[in-house]
A and B are shown apart, each in its own frame.
Chain A
Amino acid sequence: DIQMTQSPSSLSASVGDRVTITCRASQGISNYLAWFQQKPGKAPKSLIYAASSLQSGVPSKFSGSGSGTDFTLTISSLQPEDFATYYCQQYYIYPRTFGQGTKVEIK
């Protein structure tokens, strides 16, 4: 299985901050990488696919980049509704695997 490793596991940030989360794959996955946002007690929400393509309806403050083994999710200006846990997932090969999550908390 491909192992997905996110860093950091958690971070504290203030409203208005620019936040970057990193995801590293244990082998190359081209750009077959998705990002999800999950708030407590809720289902994940799809944010990005193909490493950098925004899902319909997702605000442009979210952006993704990367290819191969290293990827980033950036939130340009953190808002109160963005405090959540973020997961990356590879869909290059089966089984699909997720990162362990990055919890974004209020400073």
Chain B
Amino acid sequence: QVRLQESGPGLVKPSETLSLTCTVSDGSISSYYWSWIRQPPGQGLEWIGYFYYTGGTNYNPSLKSRVSISVDTSKNQFSLKLSSVTAADTAVYYCARESEYGSGTYIDYWGQGTLVTVSS
């Protein structure tokens, strides 16, 4: 059973960079697609983007200019960086694994989520 665990600061100042790490246990990161999804308090889910272990990425155009996802296969971790944050970036951030199906990929495992608040 794959387990994912997010870690990182729970408070980030406006205009700074949000940085989170997801550690993958009981499964190799050298396969699959590794994603980030966020959920503002009391709201719905927003897909941020993914990193494929071979180096491919795909980001939500609404965040593309500010987001970066990378993978460290030696540590079985992947990371999210979101720059120039504002209060609108306050949300619970989830990491997730996506598996291939046909020509698409679907989420099968989620981390427990971590709340990041943007405030001075």
For chain B residues 96-117, which have a beta carbon within 8 Å of chain A?
98, 101-102, 104-113
> Interface digits, B77-98 against A, CB 8 Å rule (1 contact, 0 not)?
0000000000000000010001
Interface residues on A, range: 20 to 34
In whole Å, how far is A50's beta carbon from the nearest beta carbon of chain B?
6
Stretch from B8-16, B17-25, B58-66 at the A interface: B58-66
Tell me which of B46, B59, B101, B102 contacts A98 (CB under 8 A).
B46
Residue A96, interface by CB 8 Å: yes
For chain A residues 51-107, which have a beta carbon within 8 Å of chain B?
55, 87, 89, 91-92, 94-101
17 interchain pairs, CB-CB under 8 A: A32-B101, A32-B106, A34-B106, A36-B107, A44-B94, A46-B109, A46-B110, A50-B101, A55-B108, A87-B44, A87-B45, A91-B98, A91-B104, A91-B106, A94-B58, A95-B62, A100-B44
